[in-house]
Every structure is written in structure tokens, then in C-alpha cells.
Structure 1
Amino acid sequence: MSSQGSRASNKITDDELNSLILKLQTLLPQLNQGRNGRASATKVLNETCCYIRKLQKEVDDLSERLSQRLGSVDITSFDAEILKGLLQQ
């Protein structure tokens, strides 16, 4: 199969794209606070990026706090290294 044929079969229709944007909008707290209106696709995608960055920062902060707590727990250094490695993934 040619790469053009492959791309054509993966093409998303406007209706499918609109449906995906609406689903994404419902997952974003800042766009889903009692409003029944629809935000533009650009706004939904921008808010999605901001929300993902915020969640990543929260994960990083929680991982750091957990690493600090693990440092104060009396476990073997081998166990601590395994846990720290898992947290950094």
C-alpha cells in the first residue's frame, strides 16, 4: 500500500474532529464549569496544553515529595533506588 493510500485511510472527517474536540472540552475543568457553550478548537487545544503542563508539574512535585519521604524511611538502599527509578519514569 502506498503512503498516500495509507494517509487517505487515516484522514479524519470534520465531524469526527468536531466530536473529538467536544469530548476533549468536557475533560478540561476550566472549560467545563457549568457552561453549556462550545469553545473554539483553538481555545480547547491551548487549554489542553496548559492543563497537561499543570498536571505534569503536579506529578513532578508529588514525585519529589515522595522521594524525600522515602529518603527518611528506613529501607534498604536497593529498595529505595528501585522506587526512585520507578518514580522517575
Structure 2
Amino acid sequence: MSSRRTSASGITEDEINDLILKLQALLPNSNPRDTARVPAWKILKETCSYIKRLHSELDDLSERLSQVLASADSSSGVYSDILRSLLQE
């Protein structure tokens, strides 16, 4: 019985499977036709790796932005004002 309730969470196995499929669809390089063949643990592992990569990219972009703002401050206040106004939106 695939729709039985899981322990204390009150969510069904079908709901969990649906959430796993939705999660897999958000991952880059995922193939929607292979969703039934990929185990949930692998999707969760790939998701964790993907989130770690995104965090790393965000850190790199933040560092680069800081460098751009620092160089804009030293060369022209107009560019740094434009960048700051864009970031605040």
C-alpha cells in the first residue's frame, strides 16, 4: 500500500515520492524520463552537492562584487552608486 502514512510526520509515501520527483526536476542535468529509476537517496545526495556548489558560487560572486565595488570607489563614485542602487532593488 503505497499511500500509507509514514510515522509521526503524517505525510504519505506518495507525497514523499512526488516531492522527490519535484526536487529532481530542479537539479541541472536531470532527465525527467529517468525519474522512476533514480533512487531517492541519490537525488537527495545530488541535491546536497548542488546546494554546496551554489553556495560556493555565491561566495565567489560576492567576493568579485566586493572587488568591483572597491575599485569603483577608488576610480569613480558614480559607478559604485549605480551598483549599490542595483543591489538594493
Q: TM-score w.r.t. structure 1 length?
A: 0.67
Q: How many residues align?
A: 69
Q: Which runs of 5+ in 2 are unaligned?
A: 1-6
| Aligned alpha-carbon RMSD (Å) | 2.3
| Structure 1 moving runs of 4+ over 2 Å | none
| Superposition pairs of residues 2-41 of structure 1, within 5 angstroms | 8=8, 10-30=9-29, 32-33=30-31, 36-38=33-35, 39-41=38-40
Q: Kindly state the Cα deviation for residue 73 of structure 1 after the two structures are TM-superposed.
A: 1.2
One-letter identity of the residue aligned with 2:58:
V
CA distance in 1, matches of 2:58, 2:10: 34
Cα shift readout 1:5-64 (whole Å, capped 9, x = no counterpart): xx95x521100000000000111113x14x511211000000000000000000000000
CA distance in 1, matches of 2:65, 2:28: 26
Q: Which runs of 5+ in 1 are unaligned?
A: 1-6
**2:55 — aligned with what?**
56
* Structure of higher RCO (CA pairs closer than 8 Å, 6+ residues apart): 1
Q: Matched residue of 2:33: which SS?
A: coil
Q: TM-score w.r.t. structure 2 length?
A: 0.67
